[in-house]
Chains A and B, each alone.
Chain A
Amino acid sequence: MQNLCSVGKRVPKLDAVDKATGRVKYIQDLKVAGMLYGKILYSKYAHAKIVKINTTRARELPGVLAVLTGDDIPDIRMGVYKDNRPLKKEKVCSFRDEVAAVAATSPEIAEAALKRIEVTYEALPAIFDPEAAMKEGAPLIHEAHKTNVLKMPWKLHYGDVEAAKKEAAHTVEDRFTTTWVTHCCMGTSGAIADFDPANNLTIHTNTQIPSLAQKDFLEALKTMGISDRRVRVVKPCIGGGFGSKLDTYAYEYIAILLAFHTRRPVKIEFDRTEEFIATSTRQPTITHISQGCDQNGKLLFRDIAMILDNGAYTSWGATTPSVMMMPITTLYRVPNVRYEAKCVYTNNTYAQAMRGYGNPQATYAIESTMDMLAEAAGIDPVEFRRINANQPGDVSTQGLRITTCGLTECMHAVKEKLEWDRPRQAGEGIGMASLIHVGGGARVYKSDGCGTIIKMDDFGKIDLFTGATDMGQGSDTVIAQIVAEELGLEVDDIHVIHTDTDVCPWDVGSHASRTTFIAGNAALGAARKLKARILEMGAKLLESPLEKLNLQGRHIVHQDDAEKKMAIGKVLRKAHFSHGGQMLMAEHFYDPANENMGKDFRGNMSMTYTFGTHGVRVKVDEETGKVEILQYVAAHDVGKAINPLLLEGQVYGGVMMGVGYALTEQVISEKGQNMNPNFRDYKILTAKDVVPIKAPVLETYDEDGPFGAKGIGEPGCVPTAPAIANAIYDAVGVRIKELPITPERVLAAIREKKGLDLCGQAVDKGDADECIIEE
């Protein structure tokens, strides 16, 4: 192993001090001269015809410069299915539908103007249950689409599941459901749109996809009749992404439209209520699953049919089955797999990418039934997983090529750290669940690439321009460490610039845990090119053979001759300040050799896969149904920990997001309306709820990764819910198949198991209605 100076070190996040002292500028802090404030009017119905919108009184208000409705704007289409418009026309399909927008000289005036807009609706029958929405005669959300089922054929069948079912010695079958949860970024959404006189657009916006957003906005401009102009996307400091910023949204287009109409910069900034109501959630799922194994516990088949509540419009949530296919086909060795997912329109809110991208939902069903199957087969659940664990060199039915794989080692680490075999007290239980996730990029688009430009100044300092987006995860720090390592510099010598499409190269987006791997490799490639040139110059200046020279401690050094060294800054000054000088700058575009999914969804989507196992010890209060987490161990095979400090942060954060998903978080939706759009009633966990987490790291050194690293952004929240559900079963013998696992659900299940009704009375002969549940 190499002797590393920067990589592998616990380097604090480069922006930590600025963030802690309030110096960084979020979208909330930004102002542009002459800026107006935009506000959006949302629907009052889940499903209704827009009969008439009267904006006269709003326009009359002094300080109002524009009022727009769906009739005032061109047919801009948004989202993967192009079924959404920035302002709705003719009808609304959910409560978060944007109906009108105002630009005014102050937020207060804009708000007051919204109240003066009169909208006449004619209510339409609405539908909120995806299973009901699939039925014949259900009200159609989009009439032109003719059906509520999206025409996205998420369907695969590898091997022969029916034959395997006949062969199986043990089979389990069940239904699992998950509900809406939301990203809860500390920084709420916002954008400032600004046209110059020639109609070039600058947009300051929170996005994880600057290059793709640029393309989306250019298309919108074209629809607005503006062609051949430039769009510059500038990112402020982003207060959290978690997938929420992987699409472009109505509010961004509305800011653009208002700016275009008023010829002034327009800012739209969400308050917390709006953030809860008008941004997208994790994809809710209904999963029917069966799995079977042979006498010896070897998995024979996995059969999954899933229904996804798509909501009223389509964003990336509808494509999460593409990622779910990975755990469904490849979490453990399973020779016969069938999977079908249907995305169904309803009048609910629509879903978006969220950390794990469908993987947590799929893994909840898979890992819960893994425990059930182990029990049916009479095999210890850890042993059962060991028997079926993926191994290096495996190629799964879907064609995923497993390179490095520390899954078995992760299970061992969990067993050891959790003291798995320790005797358990009454009400105490342990559970385990594992994960696979893309760790070496993910080819979801035609490209999985990222560009980097690197230049060195006269003093040996680096400016590095990357396409990657740091939205709090710390990618700037990781990239700086990688480059510092390669060039023999200090981390502080590297200035990472990622904020502006005018200067930063192209990137497909910060998603799929790809940034360390992809942007890291891109930065490494650029650094290597620069290094070669520095060494070449050094060889001449030091009159030494090139292969004897290296970069170390900000110097070019000779391996064998300590006298022969020169500060890198000096080399640079000589390069710049001389006749026939040269500029030290390099670029590199890294696009990995992974594959798009083929027709039957086969294809090695990632260069490598990250594995992990989570284990948890819980205590269940049998009288209240409350679950207390006593210990949590999250072991991951990360290839190589570039920065163990940030890595632990990702794992801790992921686990707490997962614990919230498992136990407390839900958007409470009543007939399509968000009933808890605030942190009081949306039960995200707090600092006081943080559970004791151990995060053992296994380094398998993946040769495709920068310094051996794999991606670790998402895995922390993937197997959390099933690990907890399995521990609850171990503790009190009830299996909760619906998230979140609330005390009510646990207590109801405990009572049902004991043959009692909800009020703790014995259930027999019509006695049940003694239990009066008061409205």
Chain B
Amino acid sequence: MRQFTYLTPKTLDEAISLHVAHGESARYVAGGTDVLVKIKEGKFAPDYLISLKHIIGQDRPFLNQETGELYIGAFCTHGSIEQSPLVQHHYPIIHDAVKNIGSVQIRNVATIGGNLVNAVPSADGAIPLIVLDSKANIYGTKGQRSVDLQRFFLGPGQCDLEAGEILTEIVIPPPLPRTGSAYIKHGRREAMELPMLGVGVLLCLEEDMTTCAKARICLGVAAPTPFRALAAEKYLKGKTVDENNLTEAGRLAGQESKVRDSIRGVAWYRREMVGVLVKRMGLKALERAKERHK
């Protein structure tokens, strides 16, 4: 494996100035579960790895008491998110996703920020966060900016980060009333698995607890980037949430998805599973909404 110098800045500003100093010969690294694999495969050949793991304050989820928003630092490991009572209680959909990423060992080092900036179509972490209308906070030489996470992904392996910019945290709006959400990874085994398909559904109900006020459906591996099934979402809005309507929403989501054949799965099967799993996650979201409303 190629040799590199490992740098350990303690602040964001220090990290950025190191990046400015070393330019293209430097790369940020957090957990390293993607970066090191790519270095070993020869896809990256950095002279400097700038570790973001020693930067203080971005390593666990916390609730903004004033706004009710949940902040998840980009350098939180999947393991710390999985074990966070805040996440488990208020955002079970995130728990659904992070608890099945890789293995215990991977989750103990890999970070949510790394999962997002890696920007692969199969990123488990992205789907629930998009379903929750999260924003990404980004910090760079020009200061801080914020983008809708949905717009953060530009293509496979490409995200909205300028050279040297760092994804610092994810901001999740406060949970809506009468709302439930759920995520499922569809794969071939129980661990060390990339999804053949990832499906996240959020349903916000009217006061009658049966009519859909707002729906969010986001799919992983169904397109080059995390994919919002807008036609299916639109179909559900104002309709009774039941198995029939969710089946139709699933069908629509399957139709609008851009699934394709790969060694990990064939398009027809993926499209069919979009249908089945949108329905199932819809039913689970409904159940969770009702539970929370009790």
The answer on a CB contact under 8 Å between A680 and B192 is yes
The reply to whether the CB of A762 lies closer than 8 angstroms to some CB of chain B is no
In the assembled complex, how far is the CB of residue B249 from the closest CB belonging to chain A, in whole angstroms?
A: 15
The answer on a CB contact under 8 Å between A747 and B269 is yes
Closest chain B residue, CB of each to CB of A751: B272
The reply to whether the CB of A760 lies closer than 8 angstroms to some CB of chain B is yes
A758-B272, A760-B272 given; A773·B188 CB < 8 A = no
Collect the chain A residues with CB atoms within 8 Å of residue B258's CB.
774
Stretch at the interface among A183-191, A586-594, A684-692: A684-692
The reply to whether the CB of A679 lies closer than 8 angstroms to some CB of chain B is yes
Closest chain B residue, CB of each to CB of A760: B272
Number of A-B contacts (CB under 8 A): 61
Closest chain A residue, CB of each to CB of B40: A271
Collect the chain A residues with CB atoms within 8 Å of residue B273's CB.
624
**Chain A window 687-726, contacts with chain B (Cβ cutoff 8 Å), 1 for yes, 0 for no:** 1110000000000000000000000000000000000000
In the assembled complex, how far is the CB of residue A232 from the closest CB belonging to chain B, in whole angstroms?
A: 33
The reply to whether the CB of A744 lies closer than 8 angstroms to some CB of chain B is yes
- Tell me the count of chain A residues lying within 8 A, CB to CB, of chain B: 28
Q: A774 contacts which of B192, B194, B263, B267 (Cβ < 8 Å)?
A: B267
Q: B259 contacts which of A689, A760, A774 (Cβ < 8 Å)?
A: A774
Report how far A72 CA is from B277 CA in the complex, Å. Answer: 59
The answer on a CB contact under 8 Å between A759 and B267 is no
The answer on a CB contact under 8 Å between A686 and B189 is yes
Report how far A476 CA is from B292 CA in the complex, Å. Answer: 59
The answer on a CB contact under 8 Å between A743 and B269 is yes
A624-B273, A758-B272 given; A664·B267 CB < 8 A = no
The answer on a CB contact under 8 Å between A664 and B266 is no
A624-B276, A743-B269, A747-B272 given; A676·B191 CB < 8 A = no
The reply to whether the CB of B264 lies closer than 8 angstroms to some CB of chain A is yes
Collect the chain B residues with CB atoms within 8 Å of residue A759's CB.
268, 271-272
The reply to whether the CB of A675 lies closer than 8 angstroms to some CB of chain B is yes
Report how far A743 CA is from B189 CA in the complex, Å. Answer: 11
In the assembled complex, how far is the CB of residue A450 from the closest CB belonging to chain B, in whole angstroms?
A: 38
A624-B273, A664-B188, A759-B272 given; A773·B263 CB < 8 A = no
Q: B263 contacts which of A664, A681, A742, A775 (Cβ < 8 Å)?
A: A681
Collect the chain A residues with CB atoms within 8 Å of residue B191's CB.
686-689
The reply to whether the CB of B260 lies closer than 8 angstroms to some CB of chain A is yes
Collect the chain A residues with CB atoms within 8 Å of residue B66's CB.
none
Q: B267 contacts which of A625, A687, A760, A775 (Cβ < 8 Å)?
A: A775
Within 8 A of B (CB), among A731-763: 742-744, 747, 758-760
The reply to whether the CB of B291 lies closer than 8 angstroms to some CB of chain A is no
Report how far A670 CA is from B261 CA in the complex, Å. Answer: 13
Collect the chain A residues with CB atoms within 8 Å of residue B272's CB.
747, 758-760
Among the interface residues B190, B194, B267, B268, which one has the most CB atoms of the partner chain A within 10 A? Answer: B268
The answer on a CB contact under 8 Å between A686 and B264 is no
Closest chain B residue, CB of each to CB of A668: B263
The reply to whether the CB of A623 lies closer than 8 angstroms to some CB of chain B is yes
The reply to whether the CB of A683 lies closer than 8 angstroms to some CB of chain B is yes
The reply to whether the CB of A771 lies closer than 8 angstroms to some CB of chain B is yes
Report how far A373 CA is from B59 CA in the complex, Å. Answer: 62
The answer on a CB contact under 8 Å between A675 and B263 is yes
Report how far A685 CA is from B258 CA in the complex, Å. Answer: 29
A624-B186, A683-B188 given; A773·B266 CB < 8 A = yes
Report how far A683 CA is from B194 CA in the complex, Å. Answer: 11
The answer on a CB contact under 8 Å between A771 and B268 is yes
**Chain A window 645-675, contacts with chain B (Cβ cutoff 8 Å), 1 for yes, 0 for no:** 0000000000000000000100010100001
In the assembled complex, how far is the CB of residue B96 from the closest CB belonging to chain A, in whole angstroms?
A: 16
Report how far A744 CA is from B276 CA in the complex, Å. Answer: 14
The reply to whether the CB of B103 lies closer than 8 angstroms to some CB of chain A is yes
Report how far A681 CA is from B259 CA in the complex, Å. Answer: 18
Report how far A771 CA is from B189 CA in the complex, Å. Answer: 28
Report how far A159 CA is from B211 CA in the complex, Å. Answer: 73
Closest chain A residue, CB of each to CB of B187: A683
Within 8 A of A (CB), among B134-164: none
The answer on a CB contact under 8 Å between B189 and A773 is no
Report how far A742 CA is from B187 CA in the complex, Å. Answer: 11
Collect the chain A residues with CB atoms within 8 Å of residue B271's CB.
759, 774
Report how far A743 CA is from B265 CA in the complex, Å. Answer: 10
Closest chain B residue, CB of each to CB of A740: B188
Collect the chain B residues with CB atoms within 8 Å of residue A760's CB.
272
Report how far A130 CA is from B216 CA in the complex, Å. Answer: 49
In the assembled complex, how far is the CB of residue A608 from the closest CB belonging to chain B, in whole angstroms?
A: 37
Report how far A775 CA is from B268 CA in the complex, Å. Answer: 9
Collect the chain B residues with CB atoms within 8 Å of residue A624's CB.
186, 273, 276-277
Among all A-B residue pairs, the 3 with the closest Cβ atoms: A688-B190, A688-B191, A686-B191
Q: A774-B259, A775-B260 are in contact. List 17 more A-B contacts (CB 8 A).
A: A625-B269, A664-B188, A664-B189, A670-B263, A681-B263, A681-B264, A686-B191, A688-B190, A689-B189, A689-B191, A743-B269, A759-B268, A759-B271, A771-B268, A773-B261, A774-B258, A775-B261
Can you list 20 A-B pairs with a CB-CB distance of less than 8 A? A624-B186, A624-B273, A624-B277, A664-B188, A680-B192, A683-B189, A686-B103, A687-B191, A688-B191, A689-B189, A742-B188, A743-B188, A744-B265, A747-B269, A758-B272, A759-B271, A773-B267, A774-B267, A775-B260, A775-B261
